[in-house]
Chains A and B, each alone.
Chain A
């Protein structure tokens, strides 16, 4: 069986972006400029506009970051468990991780607001407040501008380092087949995974949880991580579908791989629900004021609707919808659920970030939409730029034939 598949299927040009790469990159960059520009235009100048813009910006930034982190996790996991099935889809994830350096540059406005001591985003940036507030003054050692900057530099440094290492080695294998390259990536994946776990957890604490500095939840990092994976698998499915619609990768990514990606999407949708409920129930049951505050805002006023929309939309409905094998093996149905989950993941981040701007009423408008479109544009541009001269599949990976022949019984 395996021997039948060692010949590379398809012709060479259906695994390259080719001239579409520069077109895609330009479209992405244009979306980024227009999107973020519109968001800035409608907010800056209005009353409270800087705060509004920064919250919408952080929301969109987290959205792009979570997808990119999910991609990095997928690459690390692939090598850590010496996976076979995912070889044909791994390059897509490797190309997505190319966004880290650009995201770091786009993180600078957020960092700048903290360094300038302006509490437009994080209340703890106000040093005086930290000294006066009884609940906060013991947190000064962690929540201060300098340490925040150092931590952010460590996170983005490690992420970029890991992303570049795995992408470079993987692409080097395209030109010169070598099992040694695979083995060295497997060796790095274990410490890489530990670094990923710690940096992602603390990044979630720093970038999102500290919007409400008095509140704390130790499970928050995993909650954010669950969202990263949901959004990555949804993105991977949509990318595969659109690449195949343009005639690329058709011989490599069969319905079996869509089925596998669908299973992961289903699994992490449930995992998200499990973690989200674990976080909620302990806080709800213990009923301690400093912990319930965060949920109280989200279960009252207009935010109650967003919470209910997440419960049903992010968990119960897709859980039922994605459960069946037939849903995962039907490209159209799976494409729908992938797009749907990307929307729901956006709602999840919206629900995490925006109550910090207005705890009474959910605001939605050109600022939120524009900045999100902008950051999606950033991801597209980075993906296209990284994929301009490389194959979209790890063509000489020793595991490729296994990936091509695997079937779900």
Chain B
């Protein structure tokens, strides 16, 4: 209601002239007319056609658009941002070693760089097209002309704005007539009061904005203050359960601890390791010499040992046991100081070690070598030792040790 009275107050104000609109019947007509308008020196004018016309840009004398430069510039900015982002995150702020590759490594950075370059360029193009064309445009004075609807169907139009410095109502109309326009109409712009922003909308928008600040300010307050109350639990799921957690107190038991020890003497299934020779490599207090009695020495065990050695040992000790594994080589190259070179399996002090001691070394590790007990089952540890013995022997052997059946392969 208030807006109605608002308009009534200005009922007698005059609408300004927007410009003139000329109608043409065909493509050739509008192109010829566009050339004439262009040559007459008009700047603020446009053509409206039902479909794109090749050559119309040229006939109108439209200057090349700045859009490609915007796209190129922002595309390059995207490339720069991507490189900076990756350098900052990977090589400066939080270094992560990914399979030994350099922290800042161009080949790995290219995909993100390419995508961000394309993203910046595409967004820029999209929004620049909207901006340069002043879109979205909710109202245009030409839409008040009923004939103008045919610009989307079968007629061609040229509109010249009154804002153009060369605009002169009678002269402009005469020019369009001379150019062959079928119908010419003067178009009125909106009344000045109609272009004002409606007051009620300002109030509504400000209110929505003010209400929108409330949750934000609550969040900001919570961020910088402390509270003894539990936080708001919106989705409880199974977060709160009536059970005892580890390392907490529980009055039910005499000692007040929630965590309970197993009954004394309990052994988990499969953990009964009575055979100290097989599970610890011991014979009484001394290291076991030779292999445990329950182990069957066979070609299959030797093959298994070779294969396990290749998986667990060769990366450091080398395939031939000469401490030239790829990890050792890489560590030598990096020369980082904390590295202790792996022992050669052919060292005399290794050769004289009883099998039980070697078993213990594999199980618990030694110096820099980690414990492999958790990874390699006892049977496989013995298989590795069996292969290790063969490896040691292979370094100081002659043809006399080669079995007759394998001799032909040597030649």
Contacts and interface: CB of A to CB of B under 8 A. Distances in A.
Contact of B54 (A1, A281, A287, A323): A1
24 contacts: A1-B27, A1-B28, A1-B53, A1-B54, A1-B55, A277-B110, A280-B107, A281-B107, A281-B108, A281-B110, A281-B111, A284-B107, A285-B107, A285-B108, A287-B99, A323-B72, A325-B68, A405-B54, A406-B54, A407-B54, A407-B55, A409-B52, A409-B54, A409-B57
Interface of B: 27-28, 52-55, 57, 68, 72, 99, 107-108, 110-111
A325 B68 CA distance: 10
A36 to B, nearest CB: 39
Contacts of B55: 1, 407
Which applies to chain A's interface (DSSP): helix, strand, loop or mixed?
Answer: helix
A277 B27 CA distance: 48
Contacts of B107: 280-281, 284-285
Contacts of A406: 54
B29 to A, nearest CB: 12
Interface in A310-347: 323, 325
A281 B101 CA distance: 13
A183 B126 CA distance: 38
Given A277-B110, A407-B55, 13 more contacts: A1-B53, A1-B55, A281-B107, A281-B108, A285-B107, A287-B99, A325-B68, A405-B54, A406-B54, A407-B54, A409-B52, A409-B54, A409-B57
A265 to B, nearest CB: 18
B47 to A, nearest CB: 13
Contacts of A281: 107-108, 110-111
A279 B178 CA distance: 64
A407 B52 CA distance: 11
Nearest to B98: A285
Interface in A170-220: none
A298 B323 CA distance: 31
B73 to A, nearest CB: 13
Contacts of A280: 107
B337 to A, nearest CB: 26
Contacts of A407: 54-55
Contacts of A325: 68
A239 B368 CA distance: 69
8 closest Cβ contacts across the A-B interface? A407-B54, A284-B107, A281-B107, A409-B57, A407-B55, A1-B27, A277-B110, A285-B108
Contacts of A284: 107
Nearest to B108: A285
